[in-house]
């Protein structure tokens, strides 16, 4: 799906992919910042636990965002494609100031929500200014081209990755999560080799990319965000590689960002941001 069009005068809402396993206890700085861009004390958050098959996943985030000070948090589960046309659920989505997808399996999200009124409404809400984010599988689903699954390893192979259409809030990037912890650079590179137009974003656990309406990505959390820009790719052998074969890719630009650093998805420029503060 192509990204929803932002109406004239409107600003797209924040897009917030989180790499999974975000700190929920001593230092829930990612969830706090999500709440801040969701409206702070006036936030009305809808938690969508569809990716998960654990009964407690939704209520847990409901409790967390409530304790952090959200005005209202509701769990809206979509357990079947039929649920995605239910007017009660759609009404609750429409009233939200932010939408949060939990972790689980991103193919549950794409197979249940894909092409339904619920997916259309979430896209339209984001285009109209509503914050949409998610963790782990809930991060992967956000972009137009979603990594459904793949293989471990730092270098790309022709069969490293399988893509599926995602929610399509943006087509500027492809997201991968649990990045450092599950050795996923190769599958992200393979996704970029298929078509180098997008920017790869690899999110470590407890690390998030806060992508503002101006397309500036800011990092929050304890790990790093690996940004892979294939825009200047000089050569790739993907088209000629057999299944399981390694892939040659020449001219990748990589930035390892930490909290405080930024990357502009439009200009493709990285900045050290507050990490480069002058000596005091």
Task: Identify the active-site residue in 97, 136, 224, 236.
Answer: 136
- Which helix (H) or strand (E) segment holds residue 219: the answer is strand 216-221
- Is 178 an annotated catalytic residue? yes
Are residues 259 and 242 in contact, defined by beta-carbon separation less than 8 angstroms?
no
Total Cβ atoms within 10 A of residue 248: 14
| Residue 23 lies near a copy of itself (rule: CB under 8 A) | no
**Residue appearing with tokens 């959390």:** 221
Contacts of 34 (CB under 8 A, 6+ apart): 16, 18, 98, 100, 131, 133, 208
Q: Which of 72, 108, 180, 268 binds a copy of itself (CB under 8 A)?
A: 180
> Which of 29, 93, 66, 8 has the alpha carbon at shortest distance from 258?
29
**Per CB under 8 A, 30 contacts a copy of itself:** no
Name which of 13 and 186 has its Cβ closer to a copy of itself.
186
Name the residue nearer to a copy of itself (CB basis): 211 or 261.
Answer: 261
d(CA 161, CA 168): 19
> Toward a copy of itself, which CB reaches closer, 14 or 179?
179
Least distance to a copy of itself from the beta carbon of 248, Å? Answer: 4
Restricted to residues 230-259, the positions that interact with a copy of itself (CB under 8 A) are: 234-235, 237, 240, 246-258
> From residue 177, how far is each of 76, 120, 155, 234, 240 by CA, in Å?
23, 24, 16, 27, 28
Establish if 261 lies at the interface with a copy of itself (CB under 8 A): yes
Distance separating alpha carbons of residues 22 and 102, to the nearest angstrom: 11
Contacts of 28 (CB under 8 A, 6+ apart): 22, 64, 68
Identify the bridge partners of residue 133 per DSSP, sorted by sequence position.
16, 100
Minimum distance of a copy of itself from residue 230's CB (angstroms) = 10
Of the candidates 202, 209, 211, 217, which one interacts with a copy of itself according to CB under 8 A? 202
CA dihedral 169, 167, 193, 266 (to 10 degrees): 0
| Of the residues 183, 195, 197, 214, which one makes contact with a copy of itself according to CB under 8 A | 183
**Pairing verdict, β 98-101 and 161-165:** unpaired
Q: Is residue 205 among the annotated active site residues?
A: yes
Contact 12, 213 (CB under 8 A): yes
Q: For the segment 48-77, give every residue that binds a copy of itself (CB under 8 A).
A: none
Quick check: is 155 catalytic? no
The catalytic position among 22, 143, 160, 205 is 205
In the shown chain, the binding pattern of residues 127 to 166 toward a copy of itself, with x for contact by CB under 8 A and - for none, equals: -------------------------xxxxx----------
Contact call for residue 222 and a copy of itself (CB under 8 A): yes
Kindly indicate which of the ranges 22-30, 35-43, 92-100, 270-278 contains the residues binding a copy of itself, using the contact rule CB under 8 A: 270-278
Number of residues in contact with a copy of itself under rule CB under 8 A:
43
Active site residues: 136, 178, 205
Contacting positions for a copy of itself (CB under 8 A)? 152-156, 179-181, 183-186, 189, 202, 204, 222-224, 226, 234-235, 237, 240, 246-258, 260-261, 270-272, 275-276
């Amino acid at each position: 799906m192509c990204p929803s069009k932002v109406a004239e005068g409107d600003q797209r809402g924040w897009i917030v992919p989180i790499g999974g396993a975000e700190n929920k206890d001593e230092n829930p700085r990612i969830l706090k910042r999500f709440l801040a861009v969701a409206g702070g004390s006036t936030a009305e958050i809808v938690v969508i636990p569809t990716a998960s098959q654990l009964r407690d996943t939704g209520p847990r985030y409901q409790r967390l965002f409530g304790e952090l000070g959200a005005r209202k948090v509701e769990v809206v589960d979509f357990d079947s494609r039929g649920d995605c046309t239910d007017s009660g659920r759609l009404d609750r989505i429409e009233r939200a100031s932010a939408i949060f997808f939990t972790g689980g399996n991103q193919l549950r999200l794409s197979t249940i929500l894909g092409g339904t009124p619920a997916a259309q409404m979430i896209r339209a809400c984001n285009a109209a200014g509503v914050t949409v984010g998610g963790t782990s599988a809930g991060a992967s689903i956000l972009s137009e081209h979603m990594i459904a699954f793949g293989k471990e390893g730092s270098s790309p192979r022709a069969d490293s990755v399988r893509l599926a259409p995602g929610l399509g809030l943006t087509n500027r990037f492809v997201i991968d999560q649990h990045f450092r912890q599950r050795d996923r650079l190769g599958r992200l590179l393979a996704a970029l080799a298929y078509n180098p137009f997008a920017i790869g974003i690899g999110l470590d656990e407890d690390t998030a990319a806060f992508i503002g309406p101006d397309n500036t990505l800011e990092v929050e959390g304890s790990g790093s965000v690996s940004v892979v820009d294939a825009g200047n790719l000089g050569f790739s052998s993907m088209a000629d590689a057999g299944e399981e074969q390694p892939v040659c890719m020449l001219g990748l630009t990589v930035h390892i960002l930490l909290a405080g650093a930024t990357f502009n998805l439009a200009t493709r420029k990285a900045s050290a941001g507050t990490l480069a503060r002058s000596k005091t």
